[in-house]
Amino acid sequence: MMGDQLSVVAGKWRHRLVVTTALSVLVLPVIGSQAGASEELPTNMSATDSSRELAQASETHSFDIAPQMLADALALFGQQAGVQVSADGELVRGVETSGVSGEYQTGDALQRLLVGTGLTFRVSANGAITITGTTQGSADDNVLAPVMVEANAFADDHAGAADRANSVYITRQDLERRNPQDVDQVFAGESGVSVGGSVPLSQKVYVNGVEETNLAVSIDGARQNNKVFHHNGTNLIDPALLKAARVDPGVAPADAGPAALGGSIVYETVDVGDLLAPDRSLGGFAVASFDTNGGRFTNDLSSYGRAGEAELLGYFKWAKGDDFESGDGEQMPGTGSDLRSGLVKGAYEANDYHRFEVSAEQVRDRARRPYRANMSNLTNRNDPAERVYDLARRKFVFNYNTPTADGIWDPKVVMAYSESDLSVPSPDNSEGLSASYSGKVENDFNITDVDKITAGVDFYHDRSKYHAPTYSTDEVATNVGAYGQARLQPLDPLRVSFGLRGDRQAFEGIDGTEIDLDGVSGNASVAFDATDFLTLKAGYSNVWGGISLAESFLHNTSWDYSNGVKAVRAENYTTGFEAHYEGFTFSGDLFRGVFDNVRNPTYNGGPSLYSDFETRGYGFGLGYNWGAGFARLNYTDTEITVNGSAASSYATQYLGAPLGRIFALEVGHTFEELNVRVGGTGEAALKNTDTQDAGGLALEAYEVVGLYAEYQPSGAEFLTLRAEVNNLFDENYASRATYGQDFTTVEPLYEPGRSFLLQAKATF
């Protein structure tokens, strides 16, 4: 266990989408007849021939592509080289690259990017590049249709910048491989990101021990202000809607948004371009799955299409099941599934330059849950075992950007509304609403291919509202901010990023008390390529967060604000390294976060209570990529103290969690000749005595493993069959981030025991 002696050096969505269903019913029969259509692939060329042709047809370009997943690196490569790159999704899934940096001709740079991956490439008559396996032969070979890897495959315009050196990327390929059924599985294999709770309604995300309420969280650019009730989760998310996620632990740039106290989490939902092949105008998919533990049936239906410069996507999901059993065979009350989600997204891209996008999303979980949804039972209370929780998260977003811009005019506009609405009929027929209107206008000044300055203004208008049959209360906060972030490469091996933002906030309490305040935040990050395979990195941030709103279900009409409410401030320090050599990776990092005046109100204690807390720890990662597969092991040791002392899971609510030492493993391999993909994830949490030091029980160790196999039948490439076994060894455990394990009076919410999931997906 990491001791006190560890020091960290400064330097790191009531409607059920009628439009969606109608679109699906109308479109799918038409496009189903097109299933299995394939595009004739261009004739192969050797890597040498390809390189020679590219060298003759292309100018020299400046490349700055950091070590990362190959799919993301190819997106950057296409952008920086000005070429179209495509790849078989199975071929690049899970593959990592050591990156490429410097001045190279296109072919030479691509060869360097593919070193150690076991892949090569070929060039079509129109100059488009296709990534292939080294054993692929002619165009007549039985291969899957290429999946485009375009510049917007992962919408991170700043990938490779110094402030991204510590970021955790969850790509579309990761999501396809993990097939997540909840947020926990989104981050499977990532020891630094933990999720507490075994049902989606009660799940919370923790980054290096810090709860997501202390991070800037956005979905498609929409700010999330979802602190409604401490017994349920914060951001109800359907992973099937996601195309990617990014976590910035600790140090976040100024353009991450206001109050990025402990970093940021960015979620992105799918676009038509992520699903529809370039030569198709209509498409769709249908997914059916069954989980044996709880008998959960899940159905997903989507259709999408493009006409000229316009595109439209509709998606609907329904999941229904009974209570599951824990590892010891005990049925866990209130854990059944009753989830519905939907997404409608439309976009118009004018002249391949101006992109306008609107989307509406809702995720709703309405079911009987434990009386306190984040625990199975509180034994010293005489409450009913279950009650109904009706939680809906909604968002409506408008986005404008210029995806092909490369000069000093590269604007982005986001306008959004998001809300989380929780109704609890028993015992008081109460309702809590946490909502946010937010937006930003910013511009990227692309000075060179590697030097960029981002400047903009943003705002939010947050509301936390509680409604009971006899009264209503609300707290409101309005914030306007201005920011700038410079991402520069003054020397070939050196990348720096630094930024500043100022915020002005107006807060209004339940009793009408008004408080105006302002603050300044700053950050700096550096990444230095010490050798061709070793990168050193460090970061620091000092963030002003203003006044955070109290959770809706804590509101008390008697609260007295006469003592004022303080603004929260946090400092973050990170430092570490990454090494990549011939498919091997090794990384290490240290982190520390210090949070002062974190608002921690209670119903009887009033609105002006605070806690100071600190998280610190270290982690390492090991990995090897052999082209057709990979293995990655991560380890993170995190400690949290509150007001200078060891803390219980109660004392850390809305702050963080006592996580301790966690190992996470992910492996995968593709048998290309068999059209089979296999893999799995594992997690091991070691015993944590920190909670014992706080006067409670120690958190017991556990080990859990999940395996999967996926098959795409030859001649039926539209069909994918998948089988999973989760919790292979039937471990009886609660996730390390789950509340209450350190109390004798709390029966925690255990995870499902061994389960088998069978799934079929048809893509048209």
Rounded-to-integer distance, Cα 764 and Cα 761, Å? 10
Please work out, in degrees rounded to the nearest 5, the angle formed at the alpha carbon of residue 270 by the alpha carbons of 29 and 241. Answer: 85
**Does 104 share its domain with 180?**
no
Phi and psi of 134, rounded to 5°? Answer: -65, -20
How much is the pTM?
0.82
Element (H or E) spanning 20, and its range?
A: helix 18-32
Q: HEC profile for 432-491?
A: EEEEEEEEEEEEEEECCCCCEEEEEEEEEEEEEEEECCCCEEEEEEEEEEEEEEEEEEEE
Among 265, 293, 324, which residue terminates a domain?
265
Is the CA virtual torsion 729, 730, 736, 741 positive or negative?
A: negative
SS3 27: helix
Rounded-to-integer distance, Cα 689 and Cα 698, Å? 5
Is the CA virtual torsion 189, 191, 192, 195 positive or negative?
A: positive
**Does 385 share its domain with 362?**
yes
- The pLDDT, as a whole number, for residue 81 is 79
Using 70 as the pLDDT threshold, list the residues of the chain that sit under it.
1-59, 88-91, 93-94, 123-128, 133-155
SS3 570: strand
In a domain, 38, yes or no: no
**Does 253 share its domain with 306?**
no
Query: Tokens 């400092």 map to which residue?
Result: 571
Q: Burial of 40 by CB count in 10 Å (0-12 exposed, 13-18 middle, 19+ buried)?
A: exposed
Domain harbouring 283, CATH code: 2.40.170.20
Helices (H) and strands (E) in the chain, counts: 9, 41
**Does 151 share its domain with 85?**
no
Domain harbouring 89, CATH code: 3.55.50.30
Q: Which structure tokens are listed for 205?
A: 């995300």
In a domain, 50, yes or no: no
**Does 435 share its domain with 466?**
yes
For 163-182, give one letter per residue: b (16+ CB within 10 A) or e: bbbbbbbbbbbbbbbbbbbb
- The pLDDT, as a whole number, for residue 684 is 98
In a domain, 27, yes or no: no
- The pLDDT, as a whole number, for residue 72 is 78
- The pLDDT, as a whole number, for residue 29 is 35
Cβ within 8 Å of residue 68, ≥6 positions away: 96, 97, 99, 159, 160, 169
- Please say whether the beta carbons of 587 and 577 come within 8 A: yes
Q: Burial of 308 by CB count in 10 Å (0-12 exposed, 13-18 middle, 19+ buried)?
A: exposed
- For residue 695, the cross-strand partners are none
**Does 535 share its domain with 601?**
yes
- The pLDDT, as a whole number, for residue 466 is 96
**Does 257 share its domain with 271?**
no
In a domain, 40, yes or no: no
Among 105, 133, 161, which residue terminates a domain?
133
In a domain, 150, yes or no: yes
- Please say whether the beta carbons of 485 and 559 come within 8 A: no
Rounded-to-integer distance, Cα 684 and Cα 703, Å? 4
**Does 273 share its domain with 214?**
no
Q: HEC profile for 43-74?
A: CCCCHHHHHHHHHHHCCCEEEEECCEEHHHHH
- Please say whether the beta carbons of 638 and 659 come within 8 A: yes
- The pLDDT, as a whole number, for residue 104 is 79
Query: Tokens 């349920």 map to which residue?
Result: 232
- The pLDDT, as a whole number, for residue 582 is 85
Domain harbouring 220, CATH code: 2.170.130.10
Residue 225 structural domain:
145-265
**Does 251 share its domain with 271?**
no
Beta-sheet strands, E only, within 530-642: 534-546, 568-581, 584-599, 610-625, 629-642
For residue 493, say if its preceding peptide bond is cis, omega within 30 degrees of 0: no
In a domain, 670, yes or no: yes
**Does 126 share its domain with 252?**
no
In a domain, 102, yes or no: yes
Rounded-to-integer distance, Cα 323 and Cα 312, Å? 36
Other CB atoms within a 10 A radius of the CB of residue 47 amount to 17
DSSP state of 105: -
For 662-688, give one letter per residue: b (16+ CB within 10 A) or e: bebbbbbebebeebebebbbbbbbbeb
**Does 100 share its domain with 237?**
no
Among 102, 133, 164, which residue terminates a domain?
133
**Does 402 share its domain with 530?**
yes
Report the domain count for the chain. 3
In a domain, 402, yes or no: yes
